[in-house]
A and B are shown apart, each in its own frame.
Chain A
Amino acid sequence: DTGVSQDPRHKITKRGQNVTFRCDPISEHNRLYWYRQTLGQGPEFLTYFQNEAQLEKSRLLSDRFSAERPKGSFSTLEIQRTEQGDSAMYLCASSHRSSGGKQYFGPGTRLTVL
């Protein structure tokens, strides 16, 4: 069990560019979550996958954001036409259906939009 991993750990981009983040969950965890955290705030839920199906999306997930989990294993989060307001820590978490609601978080990807 190597934990949830995220790549990259840091990303600096210019406004208007597209960025993509990757999350590798704990193996055999069928549930995967994306959260966003800005400075001084708690994480905010973005979206949730069970296997490859995206079952829940927050209204925070505008049409510039898209998340995929094509084979029910790793997931990607893409932000198109980035804006300065997208600067945040993007956190991924995973869980197993028998986890009793416990979610295991990765270290996050810190995005800075200039």
Chain B
Amino acid sequence: DAKTTQPPSMDCAEGRAANLPCNHSTISGNEYVYWYRQIHSQGPQYIIHGLKNNETNEMASLIITEDRKSSTLILPHATLRDTAVYYCIVRAQGGSEKLVFGKGTKLTVNP
């Protein structure tokens, strides 16, 4: 079973920031938080991951709370092409290689 909880859907206006929350209250000390997204009819795409520090790359920012029980993925300027299902996954590096996906959050970016 997935170790994360996400809202089933969210809406965002084009050009605005999209903030996608994820709860992972049972996360272990050696587990990382990964975010992937899946645009309709495509394979999932890696976005970002982190352990406890906030991370930023060209796609998004990841904010992890100090207690690591939740995190937020931020798309700073959402575009219509960001409409997708976003998955938050916790996984230990060096452990099982599999990714355990939940149902994710369907983000719809509106014009």
Contacts and interface: CB of A to CB of B under 8 A. Distances in A.
Nearest to B96: A56
A3 to B, nearest CB: 9
A85 interface: no
Interface in B20-57: 32, 34, 42-46, 49
A21 interface: no
Contacts of B102: 42
A101 B43 contact: no
A103 interface: yes
A50 to B, nearest CB: 8
A45 B101 CA distance: 9
Residues of A in contact with B, size category:
20 to 34
Contacts of B96: 56
B43 A105 contact: yes
A87 B82 CA distance: 28
B101 A48 contact: no
B25 to A, nearest CB: 19
A101 B98 CA distance: 9
Contact of B103 (A42, A50, A103): A42
Interface string B84-111: 0101000101001111111110000000
B67 to A, nearest CB: 22
Interface of A: 4, 31, 33, 35, 40-45, 48, 50, 55-56, 58, 91, 93, 95, 100-108
Given A42-B101, A93-B43, A100-B93, 10 more contacts: A33-B97, A42-B2, A42-B85, A42-B102, A43-B101, A44-B101, A50-B97, A102-B34, A103-B46, A105-B45
